[in-house]
Amino acid sequence: MRKLYIATLLLGLIGCTSDQLQLQPKVSARFDIRQPVESLGTVSAIGNCAYTFNEAALTNAGWTKILDEQFANLNNWNIWYGGAYNNELQLYQAANISISNGNLLIAAKKQKVTGPSLPGSSTKKTFNYTSGRLESKALYSAGTTNPKIRMVARIKVPTGYGMWPAFWSYGDPWPTQGEIDILEAKGQEPSTYYTNYFFGNTAGTNLVSGATTTVNSSVSLQSCFHVYEVIWEATKLSFYLDGNLVDTKSSATTGGNYVSSLFGKSEKIVLNLAVGGNFFTSLITRNIVPGTMEVDWVQVYRSN
């Protein structure tokens, strides 16, 4: 979700209470320039509001759970404070993130505030919207020790023109540790989402192009929860919706043969809801309707 950066600054984490964790500038900030979707292709998928994720079947198949986030608290996460990239319109702040009945809620709001233009920046900016972004404290890596990593989340994406919810992973400095976009959606497209990935050998330079896949679900992604997942392994990324394989990005065929370059890299998991930005084409800002992204749980598995 967060792509090309053209400037670098040092970042660092500061500790706060579990419900007010703030992500302050640390390793490398990115002025990301995300263009409207350049599609690898479009696929049709069968969505299922009644789908039940079968943990026992995964365990029996040799998968070991290494993260089971049920959102009793936010102890496993850092919360972003400041503006962002891609010409997004929101200030990310802790006040827009809450837990209700075991679900994580990320609420975008039409709200005029002043805050850092980027996390940790001394430059202030006036924003017309606020929202939330969380990043996992733990890093995950598919590599020789854990050849397969499976990242899974049960999410209800928001309605609302101009909403940009995402479930993804990346590492710093971007994109040298890669980025995997498991779910990106637009609030005005109730049955569509996108998958993608990025990589580059040099900070600030992405080498992957044309790796976006458009996934059209048979049912709305906004009216109920759905399960989104990726299996990350040496030569491919396999994406699933409600237990059905919807997309495979192979090092031999996709985006310039860089999937295998992700193997051995370390990435954090991100959940966020952006408002507007370069992901949209000809966005009419006066038509923006804020919404709320809901996350039931996040799980990570490893396997040989």
Domains contained in the chain, number: 1
Residue from 278, 280, 228, 254 nearest 41 by CA: 254
Within a domain: 252: yes
Band (pLDDT 50/70/90 cuts) for residue 254 is low
Give tens-digit pLDDT for 79-122.
Answer: 999 999 999 999 999 999 999 999 999 999 999 999 999 999 99
Token pair 């919706």 is found at: 241
Would 176 be classed as within a structural domain?
A: yes
Give me the pLDDT at residue 268, please: 98
How far apart, in whole angstroms, are the C-alpha atoms of residue 113 and residue 214?
A: 34
Residue 44 belongs to a domain: yes
Q: Which spans in 28-89 are helix H?
A: 55-60
Cis peptide before 173 (omega within 30 of 0): yes
- Identify which of 78, 75, 91, 98 has the alpha carbon closest to the alpha carbon of residue 26: 78
Is 5 a domain residue? no
58 pLDDT more than 70: yes
Please report, as a single letter, which amino acid is at residue 261. S
Q: Is residue 246 in a domain?
A: yes
Spatial distance between the Cα atoms of 257 and 247, rounded to a whole number of angstroms: 16
38 pLDDT above the threshold of 80? no
| pTM of the predicted protein model | 0.89
199: Cα separation from own chain's centroid: 15
Alpha-helical runs (H) found in 14-129: 55-60
In this structure, is residue 236 part of a structural domain?
yes
52 Cβ neighbours under 8 A, 6+ residues apart: none
Q: Which residue has the tokens 């998968």?
A: 63
The pLDDT confidence band at residue 21, using thresholds 50, 70 and 90, is very low
Mean pLDDT of the 32-42 span: 53
71: left (phi over 0), alpha (psi -120 to 50) or beta: left
Examine residue 232 and state whether it is found in any structural domain, yes or no. Answer: yes
- The pLDDT assigned to 251 comes to 75
Under a CB-based contact definition with an 8 Å cutoff, are residues 108 and 163 in contact? yes
Output the domain CATH number for residue 47.
2.60.120.200
Residue for token pair 């193997």: 263
Q: How confident is the model at residue 76 (pLDDT cuts 50, 70, 90)?
A: very high
> pLDDT (tens digit, 9 = 90+) per residue, 258-293?
999 999 999 999 999 999 999 999 999 999 999 999
- Return all residues near 186 (Cβ < 8 A) that are at least 6 apart: 163, 164, 192, 279, 280
Structural domain contains residue 294: yes
Give the domain range for residue 226: 39-75+101-107+134-303
Burial 228-263 (b: 16+ CB within 10 A, else e): bbbbbbeebbbbbbbeeebbebebeebbeebbebbb
